[in-house]
A and B are shown apart, each in its own frame.
Chain A
Amino acid sequence: MPTTAALALGDDALVLSHRLGEWAGHAPVLEEEVALANIALDLLGQARVLLSMAGDEDELAYLREERAFTNLQLVEQPNGDFAHTIARQLYFSTYQHLLYGQLADSDSEFAPLAGKAVKEVAYHRDHAEQWTLRLGDGTDVSHERMRRACEALWRFTGEMFQPVAGLDVDWSGMEAAWLESVGDVLRRATLALPEGPRTGAWAAGAGRQGLHTEPFGRMLAEMQHLHRSHPGASW
């Protein structure tokens, strides 16, 4: 089922890229305007390749309803403050780096994309880790904000390790590696691994089934509005 997998990975990248785009002009320092746009652009590039494997990239991005999107609930979470954005990025980039690392070494049709993307994602992961350290081990205020962000997003992390049809990946090995890596970064940032459940109110895997959190519909409304207002137009 390459289409299911291409959509799942493509939707993750598309949705997170969009969220990062909301930071444009709002970042705390100019260097972060550049960095966040850079990460967003990498993710958008990945999304375009992946969605094109499944069909027409614009039809898939702009003309599907909320229930047809199969991204992780984690990536659709609103930006919140900078700590929330960093925690989301730490969780996701660590996951994506491990996943693409495995896919790059596989003989699946995702290997070429993963081989290229894994280099970009290594940078995203490093960026998120560095900021987790700065915020966690920064001031009392930043420490508290980072702690809250890591806890608030924790319940969306379990979903990442639900198997995706068509991806031949060692999911449980990946989950263990993820927990170890994130745990290590958080410890170095003087933060603890959150203790709450790693799945939210929905059953694990809900985003992959097209069941999303409320902010997602609003995000899609904004993203799709212009395209839908001019059916058949080219841009």
Chain B
Amino acid sequence: MTTTDSVPPTGAAPSAAAESGPAGPDLQAHFDATIARDQRIEPRDWMPDGYRKTLIRQIAQHAHSEIIGMQPEGEWITRAPSLRRKAILFAKVQDEAGHGLYLYSAAETLGADRADLTKRLIEGRQKYSSIFNYPTPSFADVGVIGWFVDGAAICNQVPLCRSSYGPYARAMVRICKEESFHQRQGYELLMTMMRGTDAQRAMVQDAVDRWWWPSLMMFGPPDGDSPNSAASMAWKIKRHSNDELRQRFVDMTVPQAEKLGVTLPDPELRWNEERGRHDFGTPDWSELQRVIRGDGPCNAQRVERRRTAHEEGAWVREAATAHAARRAARAAEAAGTEARSEVRTEKGTAA
């Protein structure tokens, strides 16, 4: 029953969720065989509860990261120093909102509910990427976020295009295309700034110094200390370990830094001929723990902003719901049915 076709209607998800109770031996065997053959699990397929929960957690956190990630760059839309950069930023922030929407849809195919996930985010019960808890005090940060943060996201996400869960993998294909575009634009901004004034070059170096280590931490804790990794890799939700992805990112970024003419703030960073890879220093894992716990530089303001937007938008969402109900009632009435009296009373109560 595992298909590689298009996504079935999301309406199928809740019943799928209800059916995924204790594994019959056949169901489990079928699931295991599907994973082993590198085929995709689809929303209607049976899946172990742990697989479903892990995916919901990961996809939701991924979606939250897109949405919270709009903030640090969104800060600069109204201050972008040229109209071209302003247009690029608008487009990028718009793409991020779109990515959030794809990912919430993917999570909903697993029986999750977007409103509930949003609630978990603003109540601090679900996480988002640690990186977005760092501030953007200069315009060079916009370029460095494109280069490092989108670059790291690409390292993480390209393998997810082969993730075992179909809707997630397909969302990642679309997202990765757009992320690579953003990454190139970020790097191009930095190139332009490095060819500019001394003040611009200093802004770039300062931003690189501030974002390097937080970017390395985006890949998560070291492999020995990553509780969810083993199951995720066995289920082929994740395809590579945190440390492997971190290494790929470093190997990809070092030559780019040289070309740009900036230094990376790590005295231990050097090419290792034997390994054919770069050696590098150890991120401050205690800082990562603090940021994940909610104690990073911008955690409080990021979640607060999301909460405020959500709460202040409640009357708008209620209006849309009430209007849709009234419109449906009118349509039903026009079709000659008696739906009217019910909805009339709703106008008063919905407020």
Whether B81 lies near A226 (C-beta < 8 A) is yes
Whether B347 lies near A140 (C-beta < 8 A) is yes
**Chain B residues numbered 294-351 whose CB sits less than 8 Å from any CB in chain A:** 305, 308-310, 312-320, 322-324, 326, 347-348, 350-351
Interface segment, A29-37, A158-166, A209-217? A29-37
A18 in the interface, Cβ–Cβ < 8 Å?
yes
Q: How many residues of A contact B (CB 8 A)?
A: 50
Whether A24 lies near B77 (C-beta < 8 A) is yes
Of B67, B77, B314, B319, which is within 8 A of A135 by CB?
A: B319
B338 to chain A, nearest CB (A): 21
Give B118's nearest chain A residue, CB to CB. A30
> Which residues of B line the A interface, CB within 8 A?
67, 70-71, 74, 77-87, 90-91, 93-94, 97-98, 100-101, 104, 139, 189, 192-193, 195-197, 199-200, 305, 308-310, 312-320, 322-324, 326, 347-348, 350-351
Whether B67 lies near A30 (C-beta < 8 A) is yes
Tell me, in angstroms, the Cα distance from A225 to B78 when the chains sit together. 10
Contacts between chains A and B (CB distance < 8 A), count: 154
A42 to chain B, nearest CB (A): 10
A82-B316, A233-B197 given; A138·B322 CB < 8 A: yes
Whether B100 lies near A30 (C-beta < 8 A) is yes
Whether B326 lies near A137 (C-beta < 8 A) is yes
Of A33, A223, A234, which is within 8 A of B79 by CB?
A: A223
Whether A141 lies near B315 (C-beta < 8 A) is yes
B134 to chain A, nearest CB (A): 16
> Which residues of A line the B interface, CB within 8 A?
14, 18, 21-22, 24-34, 37-38, 40-41, 44-45, 47-48, 51, 57-58, 61-62, 81-82, 133-135, 137-142, 145, 222-223, 225-227, 230, 232-235
Whether B87 lies near A142 (C-beta < 8 A) is no
Chain A residues lying within 8 Å of B79, measured Cβ to Cβ, are 222-223, 225-226
- Interface SS of chain B: helix, strand, loop or mixed? helix
Of B78, B82, B193, B350, which is within 8 A of A58 by CB?
A: B82
A143 to chain B, nearest CB (A): 8
Give B91's nearest chain A residue, CB to CB. A41
Chain B residues lying within 8 Å of A134, measured Cβ to Cβ, are 319-320, 323-324
Of A32, A51, A141, which is within 8 A of B319 by CB?
A: A141
Tell me, in angstroms, the Cα distance from A26 to B306 when the chains sit together. 7
A221 to chain B, nearest CB (A): 10
A45-B87, A134-B320, A234-B196 given; A139·B97 CB < 8 A: no
Chain A residues lying within 8 Å of B199, measured Cβ to Cβ, are 230, 233
Closest 9 CB pairs of A and B: A28-B313, A138-B319, A142-B319, A37-B94, A28-B316, A24-B74, A33-B97, A140-B351, A139-B351
